[in-house]
Structure 1
Amino acid sequence: MTVSTDSVPLLREAGAALARGDLAAAERAVRAVLRQDANNVVAILMLADVASAVGIYPEAEAQLRRAIALAPDHVEAWVNLALVLVQQRRTDEGLALLDRAIERDPAHVRAAGSKANILAQLGDYDAAASTYEALLARIGDNADVWMWYGHLLKTLGRQDDAVAAYRRATGIAPDLAEAWWSLAELKAGRITDADVATMERALAASPTDPKALFLHFALGKALEDRRDWPRSFARYAAGNRLRLALEPHDRQLVSAEVDRAIRIYDRDFFAARAGWGTPAADPIFILGLPRAGSTLLEQILASHPQIEGTAELPYIPQLVQALVAERWRDRAAAHPEIVTALDSATAAALGARYLESAARHRKTGAPFFIDKLPNNWLYAGFIHLILPNARIIDARRDPMACCFSNFKQHFARGQTFAYSLEDLGAYYRDNVRLMAHLDGAMPGVIHRIQHEALLADPEAEIRRMLDFLGLPFDAACLAPHENKRPVRTASSEQVRRPINRDAVDQWRHYEPWLGPLKAALGLQ
């Protein structure tokens, strides 16, 4: 695959624009290249990247197919096309394409890793494990693959095997920051003093590397386990500063979206749209802030014989983003305004599309299933519009405990509000005021569970929750730790222990440094 020297400056310009998120500038530069050279594969691939970033997946698919026709041996393009197909809910096609890519290049790490990740998202954990094992057999030791395999083993509850996989990864690459963080997250006592010294050396060698934030969070947890609160907080704060510099958060943007949602999603809005959507009653949405106890609620409900736990499904945000993407050149197109343009047939189609996508994750035949994506709280009104008989559980936790737990958790992506104490306080307050409004706008749809009340009297709170769902009490819900289902969230280890209050007041050890959070929450 050759690139004309005349195109190089424009391609560099497009690449820089993509890196900073300026999609319009990237598109202009790429199209300028294609006007000079219509078959420039690099430019075509970049145009596909722009379309994918905007969410116009049919256009991304068309460009990727064009690139593959011109350069059939470019396996990366095959992998990108497979991922675009998955985004369009054509998962079987995507997996088949990844299989073809792996046949062409059996040692292609991204192709096999993408396949394993998709299989895990679908709940096909054994197939995902086999994919990793086959890849490792082909390529020998690879630190990234061992780390990814460790993530899967952790999900399956195979903690000792996960530790061994992470240790294998750090043995191959002692500076693999994410593997150290994953090991630190597993359980108190996993990180030795020698490990701490290794991480500190790696951090000193590359203090400004974006991956250094993993080391800060890992050291924060290791020092927390040693009850060294000042140094632990300093590490958490340093990691968050690095992450915020990479992914800035606009708290005013979130507050403005909440303001508009409160104006639009009122009783009159829903009264005017009575009877809209898909009448299915099987989805149960658990939402709220991350670290508010939603994984425990999911594990409790998934222990009921009539409820299946699936995962944090991405489909509600994807439906909203697709509506916005249809008008991506219109800067005024945004949620929730985009919802006001829907008609009854479209609302029903969106509900049906959600159910079709979620069906891939259902394995047991239970009549109800859980979607536990915390960020769905911003779209609770949209959920009620397209799925009016679905029920919503709002997970709520003490503001200081919840916000600090987010601050010390390194999220993979998408939680930009968690990287500063001030942003956390504002986000928590926005969540509370929107949910309070929706209590009145959608009466009887939302049931709130206060985490501390659940821990204090589990049976009473579980009975109230099941009554809300119209289901009989089942004693299995009192022993969620006995449920061996895979858990793919940061709380996977906690929910494999009996319900306990161990972490309720953990934030108080860090109280001397949490003044900005108290102020942002209005507690000072």
Structure 2
Amino acid sequence: MSAIDHRFRALTAALDQAFQVLDHNPALAERRAREILKSAPNTPQATLILGAARRRSGDAAGARAVLAPLAKAQPNAASVHYELGVTLAALGKADKAGEALRRATALKPDMQEAWRALGDQLFLLGDAAGADAAYLEHVRCSAKDPILIQAARAAHDGRIDVARRLLQEHLRRVPTQIAAMRLLADVESRLGRDADAETLLAGCLERAPGFLDARRSRAVILQRLQKHEEALAEIQILVARDPHDAGHRVLLASALGAFGEDDRAVEIYEGVLREHPDQSDVWLHYGIALKTAGRANDAVAAYNRCIALSPGLGEAYWRLADLKTAPFSADQEAAMRSQLTNSECSIEDRLHLQFGLGRAREEARDYAAAFDHYAEGAKLRRGQLDYSAEKNTAHVQRSIDLFTPAFFAQRRGGGADSIAPIFVVGLPRSGSTLVEQILASHSAVEGTRELTEIAAIARTLGGNSATLDSAAYLARLAALNGAERAALGDRYIERTRRYRALDRTRFIDKMPNNFQHIGLIEMILPQARIIDVRRHPMATGFAAFKQHFSRGQAYTYDLTELGLFYRDYVTLMRHFDTILPGRIHRVIYEDLIDDTETQVRRLLEYCHLPFEATCLRFHENERAVRTASSEQVRRPIFREGLDQWRHFEPWLGPLADALGETRTNWR
């Protein structure tokens, strides 16, 4: 080897060593760059490392002194112009930074970090269109980013926590990388943290309004959060951009369905399917819309068509099972089992298939196998969710400590004076949909849906954290004056008006978990009626455990957590019964089944409504029903399901143990 070759290899090795430590030890990188420059004074790479190290050490002015001459000497070096651009940005020289970064992107069009930095500077300069274009180029280039590829692969493989950690660490280093924000939003959503996901996507769109993937994702998440007005606004932007795009029209149909415009939604789905008859996802959503509209047979046909097109789409099987209109055939059950053996079957499809097979085996009275399938589906779903039983119990105890007779006595006279809302609370699968259907069959009452406005007000009071900050929420609630309470009550009435299509004086909000916010309801809507629907805890618990909820109810996928949640619920409701006697009307599901007319008359009397016989013929009501009990409430009262849980009693020990004395003392 010649002396020149030896010196070249030594120089290359020294440069590599300096580059390797640049990000995590810039002081060491600077020392190594200086050592190189002593022996090789005109080495551009060493000069670049020196300038980059100074910037990373906080000496932006010193970095500029090194990089500005280097950029003149190296006019075609994209990395030099990029480093000069971010250095000028650190000095607050946005105009000059933009010039350098434009030069970098012109020299190297796939340099994603330069496009991102250019977007940041244009955003600061108020050039919204320029920033949008730069960020979109950044997104295009990010497809090759090794960190994003690694995170996306982890998310696809079900290693959600790994994906989340990678993306959070990446965004701590590069907080405006909107491609990473978009991917993290997807991860947060899969963990059930839709509020966090929505915040991330809003940040993406603030900087890059043309980032249509982010806008589509935000529209979907806003719908999940039941912020339907905001979701519709996003969808209208998408439709205006491309009115013929099938995906945009499907989103529009979904949004219209949320407002009860089911006929329009079905019409849109049918139009899309005429043009794209092989789109399995559209058949799935079409089936959901048909089910909501009460067209069960048509929904079955739509789900079957979906399965024919995509045999591995687990949700289609689950939706078919959830209709409860007919048992699975042997061929259908075999097809589900076959899909579970497919190594390409995703966790999402797998958990839906497990719940579907559980329903199939239960209908076949093979209860041991049914429970195994339910338990496996629940385990898969629980692994995707962020839930703490301890935090729920702590919230209940804080509520009990705060809400006393003296607390409410000191706050008499505040809140909105509307008598319109009727809150139906409790736990899912307790019979609340039946009570809603009975009330909605009265000429003065409109059934809406499970509204999230009370929970949204609670989050606002708690500082808008993604998950409710219980302590902050209750402290702020206690500090509200009468005018503030009235304003919040009026806000609730105004924001729920969109869901009231009929000109009726009363309406139902059937969000079960509003039982956690009875103190809030009492303070802002003191004239509202509150109905607590309760069912035997073992029956409620198992019915919830075997149900795959589209969103929410994170505690239902573990029997112990289910029992603890039910116990917390009863504890809190007993407290309100004590401090606000007679304020809450309780409907025991079993009593409603045994003596329907008596219980309906008491219910209507509590709501200050005259008795109407149509309430006993609730199954004739053709209103749209969106919950898991939609098909049951279209039938007359039946007793078959009351003791269904007893077939599974041998496996429900953790539920019974967690319930403790509440198992018998629950009424």
Give 3-state SS (helix, strand or coil) of 1:175's partner.
coil
Give 3-state SS (helix, strand or coil) of 2:568's partner.
helix
| 1:44-69 deviations in Å (ceiling 9; x for gaps) | 7579889995569789646514302x
Q: Displacement, 1:133?
A: 2.0
Residue matched to 1:230: 368
**Structure 1 CA distance for aligned equivalents of residues 572 and 511 of structure 2:** 17
Residue matched to 1:64: 205
Amino acid at match of 1:520: A
Residue matched to 2:514: 376
Q: Displacement, 1:185?
A: 1.4
Do the aligned residues in 2 keep the contact of 1:45 with 1:67 (CA within 8 Å)?
no
> Which of 270, 292, 301 matches 1:164?
301
**Structure 2 CA distance for aligned equivalents of residues 467 and 145 of structure 1:** 44
Q: Displacement, 1:111?
A: 2.8
Do the aligned residues in 1 keep the contact of 2:212 with 2:238 (CA within 8 Å)?
yes
What is the RMSD of the two structures over their aligned residues, measured on CA atoms? 3.2
> Which of 262, 271, 280 matches 1:143?
280
Q: Structure 1 residue 129 and structure 2 residue 266: aligned?
A: yes
**Structure 2 CA distance for aligned equivalents of residues 417 and 311 of structure 1:** 21
Q: Displacement, 1:481?
A: 0.4
Q: Displacement, 1:153?
A: 0.6
Amino acid at match of 2:538: M
Q: Structure 1 residue 118 and structure 2 residue 226: aligned?
A: no
Residue matched to 2:413: 275
Q: Displacement, 1:452?
A: 0.4
**Structure 1 CA distance for aligned equivalents of residues 379 and 341 of structure 2:** 17
| 1:288-342 deviations in Å (ceiling 9; x for gaps) | 0000000000000000111110111111111112222447799785443342233
5+ residue gaps, structure 2, are: 1-108, 115-141
Q: Displacement, 1:449?
A: 0.3
Residue matched to 1:296: 434
Amino acid at match of 1:303: S
Amino acid at match of 1:79: R
Amino acid at match of 1:339: L
**Structure 1 CA distance for aligned equivalents of residues 264 and 325 of structure 2:** 30
Q: Displacement, 1:190?
A: 3.9
Structure (1 or 2) with the larger CA radius of gyration? 2
Do the aligned residues in 2 keep the contact of 1:48 with 1:64 (CA within 8 Å)?
no
Residue matched to 2:565: 427
Residue matched to 2:445: 307
**Structure 2 CA distance for aligned equivalents of residues 336 and 314 of structure 1:** 18
**Structure 2 CA distance for aligned equivalents of residues 516 and 455 of structure 1:** 28
- Structure having the higher helix fraction is 2
> Which of 336, 339, 342 matches 1:202?
339
> Which of 548, 553, 567 matches 1:410?
548
| 1:429-483 deviations in Å (ceiling 9; x for gaps) | 1110100101122233210000000100001101111111111111111111011
Q: Structure 1 residue 251 and structure 2 residue 359: aligned?
A: no
Q: Structure 1 residue 30 and structure 2 residue 171: aligned?
A: yes
Task: Decide whether aligned partners of structure 1 residues 353 and 20 sit closer, same or farther in structure 2, where only a CA change above 3 A counts.
Answer: farther
Residue matched to 1:357: 495
Task: Decide whether aligned partners of structure 1 residues 503 and 407 sit closer, same or farther in structure 2, where only a CA change above 3 A counts.
Answer: same
Q: Displacement, 1:106?
A: 4.9
* Percent identical residues: 43
Amino acid at match of 1:171: A
Do the aligned residues in 2 keep the contact of 1:307 with 1:368 (CA within 8 Å)?
yes
5+ residue gaps, structure 1, are: none
Q: Displacement, 1:137?
A: 2.9
Amino acid at match of 1:478: L
**Structure 2 CA distance for aligned equivalents of residues 338 and 166 of structure 1:** 47
Residue matched to 2:613: 475
Amino acid at match of 2:503: G
Moved more, 338-347 or 97-106: 97-106
Do the aligned residues in 2 keep the contact of 1:426 with 1:520 (CA within 8 Å)?
yes
Do the aligned residues in 2 keep the contact of 1:277 with 1:350 (CA within 8 Å)?
yes
Residue matched to 1:449: 587
Q: Structure 1 residue 173 and structure 2 residue 310: aligned?
A: yes
**Structure 2 CA distance for aligned equivalents of residues 85 and 237 of structure 1:** 30
Amino acid at match of 1:198: A
Q: Structure 1 residue 4 and structure 2 residue 131: aligned?
A: no
Q: Displacement, 1:240?
A: 1.1
Moved more, 191-200 or 138-147: 138-147
Amino acid at match of 2:336: M
Moved more, 426-435 or 261-270: 261-270
Q: Displacement, 1:231?
A: 1.1
Amino acid at match of 2:301: A
Residue matched to 1:318: 456
**Structure 2 CA distance for aligned equivalents of residues 219 and 360 of structure 1:** 38
Give 3-state SS (helix, strand or coil) of 1:246's partner.
coil
Q: Displacement, 1:392?
A: 0.3
Give 3-state SS (helix, strand or coil) of 2:552's partner.
coil
| 1:209-230 deviations in Å (ceiling 9; x for gaps) | 3421111110111111111111
Do the aligned residues in 2 keep the contact of 1:61 with 1:84 (CA within 8 Å)?
no
**Structure 1 CA distance for aligned equivalents of residues 322 and 146 of structure 2:** 44
TM, length-normalised to structure 2: 0.71
Amino acid at match of 1:66: R
Task: Decide whether aligned partners of structure 1 residues 348 and 57 sit closer, same or farther in structure 2, where only a CA change above 3 A counts.
Answer: farther
Task: Decide whether aligned partners of structure 1 residues 112 and 3 sit closer, same or farther in structure 2, where only a CA change above 3 A counts.
Answer: farther
Residue matched to 2:326: 189
| 1:97-156 deviations in Å (ceiling 9; x for gaps) | 423423544564543333222211111111221222232233332111111110111111
**Structure 1 CA distance for aligned equivalents of residues 488 and 448 of structure 2:** 20
**Structure 1 CA distance for aligned equivalents of residues 434 and 535 of structure 2:** 12
Residue matched to 2:215: 78
Do the aligned residues in 1 keep the contact of 2:459 with 2:469 (CA within 8 Å)?
no
**Structure 1 CA distance for aligned equivalents of residues 405 and 391 of structure 2:** 24
Task: Decide whether aligned partners of structure 1 residues 137 and 410 sit closer, same or farther in structure 2, where only a CA change above 3 A counts.
Answer: same
**Structure 2 CA distance for aligned equivalents of residues 30 and 268 of structure 1:** 48
Do the aligned residues in 2 keep the contact of 1:112 with 1:131 (CA within 8 Å)?
yes
Task: Decide whether aligned partners of structure 1 residues 86 and 291 sit closer, same or farther in structure 2, where only a CA change above 3 A counts.
Answer: closer
Do the aligned residues in 1 keep the contact of 2:151 with 2:162 (CA within 8 Å)?
no
Give 3-state SS (helix, strand or coil) of 1:479's partner.
helix
Task: Decide whether aligned partners of structure 1 residues 364 and 175 sit closer, same or farther in structure 2, where only a CA change above 3 A counts.
Answer: same
| 1:395-453 deviations in Å (ceiling 9; x for gaps) | 00011111111111111121111112111111111110100101122233210000000
Amino acid at match of 2:577: D
Give 3-state SS (helix, strand or coil) of 2:383's partner.
helix
Amino acid at match of 1:503: G
Moved more, 222-231 or 390-399: 222-231
**Structure 2 CA distance for aligned equivalents of residues 191 and 229 of structure 1:** 16
Amino acid at match of 2:264: A
Q: Displacement, 1:28?
A: 7.0
Amino acid at match of 2:428: P
Alignment of 1:477-516 (within 5 A): 477-516=615-654
Task: Decide whether aligned partners of structure 1 residues 305 and 99 sit closer, same or farther in structure 2, where only a CA change above 3 A counts.
Answer: same
Do the aligned residues in 2 keep the contact of 1:421 with 1:514 (CA within 8 Å)?
yes
Amino acid at match of 2:298: D
**Structure 2 CA distance for aligned equivalents of residues 519 and 194 of structure 1:** 39
Task: Decide whether aligned partners of structure 1 residues 192 and 255 sit closer, same or farther in structure 2, where only a CA change above 3 A counts.
Answer: same
Q: Displacement, 1:269?
A: 1.7
Residue matched to 2:26: none
Task: Decide whether aligned partners of structure 1 residues 2 and 391 sit closer, same or farther in structure 2, where only a CA change above 3 A counts.
Answer: farther
